[in-house]
């Protein structure tokens, strides 16, 4: 089976390192990273990851803006996205802002829980695309 890929777009380098190390050690996922929204958009277009993990609050170009740009681009619009936020209770606000029923995970979270949510979302999107 070929390796699945995840693009983590987050301005917190320590968080990115934690996610990258734990997922690459415990799963067959290939992890790509970007430290800001602009870099994330370029990498999403170039790498075509299977899934994107996207921080809501980032300087210059926040996660909401990045999501809207990705969804407006033919090459990246179908890539499933999980939002990350340190703000408790913001899930509905994010969903309303992007006008979609998206996954939102609050930081800090268990890395095991994060792995499970990534795999679950990937499998749901893979199954839906086969229908």
What domains lie within the chain, and their CATH numbers? 5-130 (3.40.50.2300)
Q: What is the pLDDT of residues 43-85, one digit of tens each?
A: 999 999 999 999 998 988 999 999 999 999 999 999 999 988 8
User: Are residues 64 and 98 in contact, defined by beta-carbon separation less than 8 angstroms?
Assistant: yes
More confident residue, 27 or 9: 9
Query: Tell me, what's the pLDDT at 26?
Result: 81
Q: What is the pLDDT of residues 94-126, one digit of tens each?
A: 777 777 777 888 877 788 888 888 888 888 877
pTM of the model: 0.87
Tokens of 17: 């390192």
Q: How far apart are CA 108 and CA 2, in angstroms?
A: 30
């Amino acid at each position: 089976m070929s390796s699945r890929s995840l693009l983590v777009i987050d301005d917190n380098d320590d968080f990115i390192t934690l996610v990258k190390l734990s997922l690459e050690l415990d799963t067959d996922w290939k992890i790509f990273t970007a430290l800001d929204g602009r870099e994330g958009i370029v990498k999403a277009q170039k790498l075509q990851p299977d899934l994107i993990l996207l921080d809501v609050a980032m300087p210059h170009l926040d996660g909401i803006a990045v999501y809207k740009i990705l969804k407006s681009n033919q090459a990246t619009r179908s890539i499933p996205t999980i939002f990350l936020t340190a703000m408790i209770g913001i899930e509905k606000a994010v969903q309303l802002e992007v006008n979609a029923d998206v996954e939102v995970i609050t930081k800090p979270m268990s890395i095991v829980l994060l792995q499970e949510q990534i795999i679950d979302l990937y499998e749901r999107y893979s199954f839906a695309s086969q229908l």
